[in-house]
Amino acid sequence: MRTIYILLPILAALAVCPSAQSERSIPVWHEHPNLYVSKADVPGILDKAKRIEPAGKALESIRSSADKWLAQKIEYPPSTGRHAVSYVCPDCKEVLQTLSPTQHQCPKCKKIYSGLPYDARSYGGEHMALADGARNLGLSWLFFGKREYAEKARDILLGYADRYASYPLLDIRGGQAASGARIFDQTLNEAIWLIDIAWAYDLVLGAGVATPEQQAHIENDLLRASVATIKRWRAGKSNWQSWHNAGIMAAALTLHDDKLVDEALNDPECGYYFQMKNSILSDGAWWEGSWSYQSYSLDALLKTAEAARHSGIDLYTPDLKKCLEAPLLVLMPNGHTPPVHDAVEGGVSPAVYEVAAARYDDPMFQDVLAEKGRSGFNALLYGMENPKKHATALTSTIMPGLGMAILRNGDQYVSLDYGPHGGGHGHRDKLSVVYYTQGQVFGVDPGRGWPYTLPIHQEWYKLTLSHNTVIVDEQPQPECEGSLESTSFAGEYHTAIAKADTCYEGVRMKRTVVLGKDWMLDVYDVESDAEHTYDWVWHARGEFSSQLTVQPFDLKASHMSYSYLSDVRKGDGASDWKADWTLPGGKVYGLFKGSPGRTALLCNAPDNPKTDTLHSVILRDKAKTARFVSLFSTKPMKWSDLPKGVVAMAK
C-alpha cells in the first residue's frame, strides 16, 4: 500500500504534464449545435451582421444559398471527384478546357475527350457544393429558425449515408493506393469535405429533425465511414495530415467521441500535437518552405483549434501564434508573400486572420484585416468588431528555421533562400533570390507549375535553372541546404551573406546581397579544386534591351531543363556591359562585371503562367573559381556610385 501512495503524486503529475497533453485532450460536451457555433452565439452574430457590411453580406449569402437548396432537387454525383492530374491531354500534357460536362478539349491538339476520368473532374465541385449547401442550410436554421432548412440538410446527409459505401475507393491515378478516398480521389480533399458534413450534422442534431434511426445511419454510414477512409492514409508530417486531423476532429466532436478526439490530437505519428512539433519550424514557418502551403495548413490548424475551443480544449498556443505571424514577417511591399518552392505569389488570407485576430491580441493580425479587407463568412462567425490599423513596420529580418534572409530598404525587397530543401514541395534552388523593385517582383522565382504532374513543373519550375542562382555543369542541385554566414541591417544599406558547400560535390558557393534604397548589388562566388562550368542565372520581368553584341547560339546543353530556354543569343562577357528592363513602374538598369573568358547568354524563359516570358541573362564561366558581380538599380549607376563600404565588395 505504501508503494501505491508514493506513486499517486507521480501519476497525478503525469496527468497534467504539458508533454503528456492528456488534460487538453478531454473535451467538455455541450448540447448541439456546438462544433463551430452554438445557439448562445446567435444574438451576437446577428447583431454583428447589422454593423459589419462583409458580415451582413455573408449572412445574406448563407440564407440565399439555403433558399436555393430548398427549391431544388438533391442530385448526387455518380462517382468519385477526380483530381486535376487526370484532367490533362495524355498526348500533349496540356490542361484540358471544359466545353461541356461531357466534352473536354485539349487547347493544343484540339482533341475532345469524354467519359471517365475526364467527366469526373466536375464531380468534386458538385460534392463540395452539396457539403456547403448542407452547412448553409443548417446555419440558416440556426439563424432564422425555419425548420425546413434543417430538414433539407438532414436529407442531404441521409442521401450520402445511403450511397457513401457505393462510391469506389480511387486514388488520383485511378488505382487503389491508401491515399485514395470515395468522395474525392484523395484523403486530403475528403477530410476537407468532411468538416462541412460534420458541421451540418451538428446543426441538424441541434434542430432535432433526425430520428434515432436516421442519426445512427448518418453517424455510422457517413461520418464514421468517412473517418475510416481518411485513416487509411497516415500522412505523417504533412499538410495532408493537418487536414486529416481537422476533418477527424470535426467528426469526433460532433459524435461526442472522446477516443477519436484523443486520436486526432495525440496520435504520436500523425496527431495535431505531432504536427505542431514537427511541421512548424523554430521561426513559425511551415517546414515545406512554401508560403502557399503555410496558408493552406494554417487553415486546417485553425479549424482544428476553433472546433476544439468550443469543447473546452485550448489549442491557441504561442506556437500556433508564431505560425500565424511568420507569413507576415516576409511580406513584400505589395503585401504578397514571395512565391518560393511550390507556391504562387499571393496575399495572406483574411479568412485565416479573422480567426487569428479574434483569438490573439496581436496588432499584426488586425493590420491584415484593416489593410486587406474582411472575409465575410469568418467575420460573421468570429470576427472582431473594429480591427485597427497599427502600421506595424516591417524591417530586414532572418527566418532561421526556414533559412531565408529578408532585406528591406525603402520600397525595395530581396529574399535570399539558403534553408532546408522542403520535402516534396521544395525546389532545388539554394542561394536563389527574389528581387522586388519598381512596384513589382522584378528578379523572379516563378514558383510552381500546376498540376504538379505536368512535365514543365518537374523539368523546369522545380529545378535549379528556373531560379536566380548558380547551376554547375548544367546539372540541377540535389536536395541540399546552405547556411547563413552574416547579416548587417543597420545604416544606408543592408547586407546578407549565405553559403552552400554541399550542393555540388567539391564546389563551394557563397552569395553576398547588398540592398540600398534604389539599388541591389549581387556578388556570387564559386570555387572548386576542379574545373567546372558555372552558369549564373538571372530571370527578370520587363521589356529587355542590352548594349551587348550577340548572335544566335545553339546551346546544346546536357540537361533537359535547358530545353525550356528559347531565342538564345551569345555575347562576349569578358568586359563590363549594361542592360535594362522596362516595367510599368519604371526601368531597372543592370550592370554586369566582365571576366576573362566569360560568355554572356541572353534568352527567354517561361514565367508563370508558362505563356508569359522572362527575359534572362546567363553568365557562363568554365574555371575552378568564378566571381559573378552584378548591380541592379532604378537609375543608371556606375560601380563608383556605390557607397564606399560597398565598392570593395564589387571588385
* DSSP symbols for 530-595: EEEEEEEEEEE-SEEEE---EEE-----SSGGGGG-EEEEEEE-SS-EEEEEEETTEEEEEEE---
Closest CA to 416 of 355, 490, 497, 353: 497
Task: Give the separation between CA 80 and CA 173, rounded to whole angstroms.
Answer: 12
E strands of 438-518, at which residues? 440-443, 470-472, 483-488, 494-504, 507-515
- Beta-bridge partner residues of 603: 616
**Run of H or E including 105:** strand 103-105
Task: Give the separation between CA 264 and CA 230, rounded to whole angstroms.
Answer: 12
Start-end of H helices in 382-450: none
Identify the pLDDT of residue 24.
52
Peptide bond into 609 cis (omega under 30): yes
Task: List Cβ neighbours of 37 (8 Å cut-off, separation of 6 or more).
Answer: 45, 139, 142, 310, 381
Domain residues of the chain, as ranges?
397-650
**All three cell numbers of 483:** 547556411
Task: List Cβ neighbours of 75 (8 Å cut-off, separation of 6 or more).
Answer: none
> Tens digit of pLDDT for each residue in 232-280?
999 999 999 999 999 999 999 999 999 999 999 999 999 999 999 999 9
Identify the pLDDT of residue 4.
31
SS3 646: helix
Cα dihedral sign, 209-213-217-219: positive
- pTM as predicted: 0.93
- Which ranges of the chain have pLDDT less than 70? 1-24
SS3 439: coil
Residue 347 region by backbone torsions, left for phi larger than 0, else alpha for psi between -120 and 50, else beta: beta
Identify the pLDDT of residue 18.
34
Task: Give the separation between CA 16 and CA 421, rounded to whole angstroms.
Answer: 37
Closest CA to 188 of 197, 179, 196: 179
SS3 34: coil
Exposed, middle or buried, 213 (CB in 10 Å: 0-12/13-18/19+)?
exposed
Closest CA to 29 of 256, 228, 181, 191: 256
Tell me which residue has cell 516570358.
Answer: 613
The end-to-end CA distance of the chain, in Å, is 81
Exposed, middle or buried, 98 (CB in 10 Å: 0-12/13-18/19+)?
middle
Task: Give the separation between CA 304 and CA 314, rounded to whole angstroms.
Answer: 10
Task: Give the separation between CA 312 and CA 308, rounded to whole angstroms.
Answer: 6
- Cα–Cα distance list, 247 to 123, 195, 576, 605 (Å): 20, 5, 59, 41
Task: Give the separation between CA 612 and CA 225, rounded to whole angstroms.
Answer: 45
**All three cell numbers of 222:** 457517413
Identify the pLDDT of residue 12.
35
In CATH terms, 397-650 corresponds, of 3.30.110.30, 2.70.98.70, 2.60.40.10, 3.40.50.1820, to 2.70.98.70
> Tens digit of pLDDT for each residue in 555-598?
998 999 999 999 999 999 999 999 999 999 999 999 999 999 99
DSSP annotation of 24 reads G
SS3 520: strand
**Run of H or E including 276:** helix 272-278
SS3 376: helix
